[in-house]
């Protein structure tokens, strides 16, 4: 799979580790920054990753900030993006199976690199189950349309 990656300064080291993990797993890691500890604003990278998915350049995205929360909030403002801030493997799997999440958000100040690896593996190893979950995802899309989103 083609996975777009983004982080702010708090997440960039873990983001780089995740890029390595993805390549080890045989995925294409598209690193959209940031590249250092220098302070940056997480919404800028949430948008870069979201837009690369919407443009069809990436299949899924992974965003890393301090908590995963700001990244998820920002990415979820982009119509068509379903971003989940996750710190356990059960939720990582459910985010794909139930919510058809297309962006995984991880907090580098919340999880260590071992757990991050398992979270990424769980997320990428799962797929949307459809059925009753499809109805609910469709309802989320209706909310998006009602409040100004277009996709």
Q: Which is nearer to ligand RB5, 41 or 88 (CB)?
A: 41
Span between the terminal Cα atoms of the chain, in Å: 23
Catalytically annotated residues:
65, 98
Q: Which is nearer to ligand RB5, 65 or 124 (CB)?
A: 65
User: Per CB under 6 A, does 106 bind ligand RB5?
Assistant: no
Q: Which is nearer to ligand RB5, 54 or 69 (CB)?
A: 69
Rounded to a whole number of angstroms, the CA Rg of the chain reads: 14
Cβ–Cβ < 8 Å for 78, 37: no
User: Per CB under 6 A, does 5 bind ligand RB5?
Assistant: no
User: Per CB under 6 A, does 79 bind ligand RB5?
Assistant: no
Calculate the CA 149 to chain-centre distance: 19
User: Per CB under 6 A, does 47 bind ligand RB5?
Assistant: no
User: Per CB under 6 A, does 144 bind ligand RB5?
Assistant: no
- All residues at 6 or more sequence positions from 142 whose CB lies less than 8 Å from its CB, including other chains: none
User: Per CB under 6 A, does 66 bind ligand RB5?
Assistant: yes
Cβ–Cβ < 8 Å for 113, 82: no
User: Per CB under 6 A, does 67 bind ligand RB5?
Assistant: yes
Q: What is the rounded (10 degree) CA torsion for 101, 14, 7, 51?
A: -40
Binding residues vs ligand RB5 (CB under 6 A): 8, 10, 42, 65-67, 69-70
């Amino acid at each position: 799979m083609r996975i777009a990656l983004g982080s702010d300064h708090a997440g960039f080291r873990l983001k780089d580790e995740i890029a390595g993990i993805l390549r080890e797993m045989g995925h294409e890691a598209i690193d959209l920054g940031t590249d250092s500890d220098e302070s940056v604003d997480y919404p800028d990278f949430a948008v870069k990753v979201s837009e690369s998915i919407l443009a069809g350049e990436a299949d899924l995205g992974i965003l890393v900030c301090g908590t995963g929360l700001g990244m998820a909030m920002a990415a979820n403002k982009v119509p068509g993006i379903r971003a989940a801030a996750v710190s356990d493997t059960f939720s990582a799997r459910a985010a794909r199976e139930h919510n058809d999440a297309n962006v995984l958000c991880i907090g580098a100040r919340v999880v260590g690199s071992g757990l991050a690896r398992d979270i990424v593996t769980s997320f990428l190893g799962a797929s949307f189950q459809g059925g009753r979950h499809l109805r609910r995802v469709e309802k989320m899309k209706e909310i998006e349309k009602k409040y100004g989103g277009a996709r």
